[in-house]
Structure formats: C-alpha cells, structure tokens
Amino acid sequence: MLKEKLSRNLRKLRSSMNLTQETAAELCDLSPRFWGKLERCEATPSVDTLEKISLGLQVSLEALFEEDEVGGANER
C-alpha cells in the first residue's frame, strides 16, 4: 500500500513540477530507468533513495506518502 502511494505521488509531484522522468531522476541522483520503475510501482526504494528524492525535489519524506494530492514543493 505504501509503495502504491509513493508511486502515485511521485508521478503527481513530477507532473506538477513540469519535469520529465529523466530530469526528476537527475535531480535526485537516480537513473531514469529506476525512476520509471518507481512510478510504475515495479521497484521498492531504500531509505537512502527516499532521502535522495526528498532532497532532490525539495519535498518532505511525509509528502511522498500523503493520501492527499501532492501539489508543488512542500516545506520541509
């Protein structure tokens, strides 16, 4: 269930920031292929990867798992 929330929120967040998968992956120091797997719910990120995403997209870790729709960059 958390994995699905993360997948959905990554896609929504990336779209709201007008980023391609490639650009989002680059900002987070991840490969575009792995980013795509995260968005398709085909990979499980480590805690280190979650931290990279949080820092790269400037959102809180909590925002990655929120039930509500993810908007722009949330405050930390």
Q: Tens digit of pLDDT for each residue in 21-30?
A: 999 999 999 9
Instruction: Quote the mean pLDDT of the chain.
Output: 91
Residue 73 has pLDDT above 80, yes or no: no
Q: Tens digit of pLDDT for each residue in 36-58?
A: 999 999 999 999 999 999 999 99
pTM: 0.84
| CATH 3.40.50.10240, applies to 2-65 | no
Predicted pLDDT of residue 68: 67
Backbone region of residue 58 per phi and psi (left: phi > 0; alpha: psi in -120 to 50; beta: other values): left
Domain boundaries, the chain: 2-65
